[in-house]
Amino acid sequence: MFKIESIKKRVQTQYPGAFISVSASGEYFVEWNDQNLNDIFLYNDCDSPEAAWNTALLTVQTERNLNRTHPLKSLISAERKQQNKERIANRIHKR
């Protein structure tokens, strides 16, 4: 039980408000903002709630890994820095 609570906490850190749902076929999945997290990486629904949380954790880990190693990460980061500089410059010039 402790391990499932730990997994649940890690998933809910990335997806606040995520919860277990049951499909029409009686299989479990984790839902967040009316979206099945298994659909993000095309995982199948699970037979138990514990397996559903484990699959959701795998989704979180995979998504973090992809975001960390994305080839456009440096371009996105540079764009955000430029937007921040423009925002600060505009704020200073309004004074």
Question: What one-character-per-residue DSSP string does 30-84 give?
Answer: EEETTEEGGGTTTPPPBSSHHHHHHHHHHHHHHHHHHHHT-TTHHHHHHHHHHHH
Cα 51 to Cα 58: distance, rounded to the nearest angstrom: 11
Cα 36 to Cα 66: distance, rounded to the nearest angstrom: 19
- pTM of the prediction? 0.70
pLDDT band at residue 92 using 50, 70 and 90 as cut-offs: confident
Per mean pLDDT, which range of 2-6, 66-70, 88-92 is the poorest?
A: 66-70
Residue among 16, 17, 20 nearest 29 (CA) = 20
User: pLDDT, tens digit, for every residue of 8-37?
Assistant: 999 999 999 999 999 999 999 999 999 999
